[in-house]
């Protein structure tokens, strides 16, 4: 996958004219309403960044670096962006989170947005770890960077009811994992309600659905045995993105 393919879109296999591409500011309204079908509401900082087309900048830079054969594409993409912004403190954290957020939309033959997904760094897990370790300043920033270049939280996927069952949901998940693997992330995970009965959907896509209450160990990302813990009544699903050897 190249930056150009991600931005222009890739056809969904066997679906005719449906395609999946990176979301832009113009997709804001349908994107929000689709994500709300999955119970996900965008926060103001996410919306503001979407409106300026500044989401996923480290991801697209990472795809360029991957095409050029760089060994750590997302890290390079992120560092380039951080250096360009020449900021510090809260702006750096904000840039780190937004630049590694991957919003996708599915488009029909008329250009209408009929599906959406959202994958982002696990901000709460990162913040909890920083608080627990009592880390501040550049040490805290290092934990943010480790999180942003190491792991993504697949927060939501939703497809318009009129086009469900045509492989769009699966393509949104597959495209996300493909891009994140290509730029060198280690892990992707998400959370489902036990009542959603989505185990099969994610298992078919190569994820392991963990037992109710079972936490995920992200020590390979953070260097300490910490990670997300499912809320009551929820289960985590997880997939390692390490290159298949």
Ligand X SMILES: CC(C)(COP(=O)(O)OP(=O)(O)OC[C@H]1O[C@@H](n2cnc3c(N)ncnc32)[C@H](O)[C@@H]1OP(=O)(O)O)[C@@H](O)C(=O)NCCC(=O)NCCS
Q: Which residues of this chain interact with ligand X, rule CB under 6 A?
A: 37-38, 156-159, 164-170, 196-198, 200-201, 204
Q: Which residue has the tokens 């991801």?
A: 59
Nearer to ligand X, 66 or 209 (CB): 209
Q: What is the nearest approach in angstroms of ligand X to the Cβ of residue 14?
A: 10
| Nearest residue (CB) to ligand X, 151 versus 209 | 209
- Kindly state the smallest distance separating residue 136's Cβ from ligand X, in Å: 34
Looking at the DSSP bridge assignments, the partners of residue 19 are 11, 107
Residue nearest to ligand X (CB): 169
| CA 30 – CA 116 distance, rounded (Å) | 9
Q: Which of 54, 49, 66 lies closest to 5 in space, CA to CA?
A: 66
Q: Pick between residue 162 and residue 245 the one whose CB is nearest to ligand X.
A: 162
Least gap, CB of 47 to ligand X (angstroms): 19
> Cβ of residue 224: shortest distance to ligand X, in angstroms?
28
Pairing mode, strands 187-193 and 234-240:
antiparallel
Residue whose CB is less far from ligand X, 157 or 185: 157
Helix/strand/coil for 157: strand
First-to-last C-alpha distance (Å) of the chain: 19
């Amino acid at each position: 996958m190249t930056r150009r393919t991600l931005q222009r879109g890739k056809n969904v296999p066997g679906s005719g004219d449906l395609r999946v591409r990176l979301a832009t500011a113009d997709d804001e309204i349908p994107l929000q309403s689709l994500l709300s079908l999955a119970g996900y509401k965008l926060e103001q900082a996410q919306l503001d960044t979407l409106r300026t087309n500044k989401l996923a900048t480290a991801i697209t830079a990472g795809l360029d670096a991957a095409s050029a054969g760089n060994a750590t594409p997302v890290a390079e993409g992120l560092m380039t962006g951080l250096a360009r912004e020449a900021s510090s403190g809260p702006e750096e954290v904000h840039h780190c989170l937004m630049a590694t957020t991957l919003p996708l939309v599915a488009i029909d033959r008329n250009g209408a947005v009929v599906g959406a997904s959202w994958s982002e760094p696990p901000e709460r897990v990162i913040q909890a770890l920083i608080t627990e370790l009592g880390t501040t300043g550049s040490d805290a920033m290092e934990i943010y960077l480790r999180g942003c270049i190491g792991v993504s939280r697949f927060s939501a996927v939703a497809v318009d009811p009129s086009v469900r069952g045509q492989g769009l949901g699966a393509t949104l998940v597959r495209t996300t994992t493909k891009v994140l693997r290509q730029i060198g992330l280690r892990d992707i995970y998400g959370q489902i309600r036990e009542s959603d009965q989505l185990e099969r959907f994610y298992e078919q896509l190569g994820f392991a659905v963990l037992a109710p209450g079972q936490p995920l160990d992200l020590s390979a990302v953070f260097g300490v045995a910490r990670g997300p813990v499912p809320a009551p009544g929820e289960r985590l699903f997880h997939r390692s993105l390490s290159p298949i050897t």
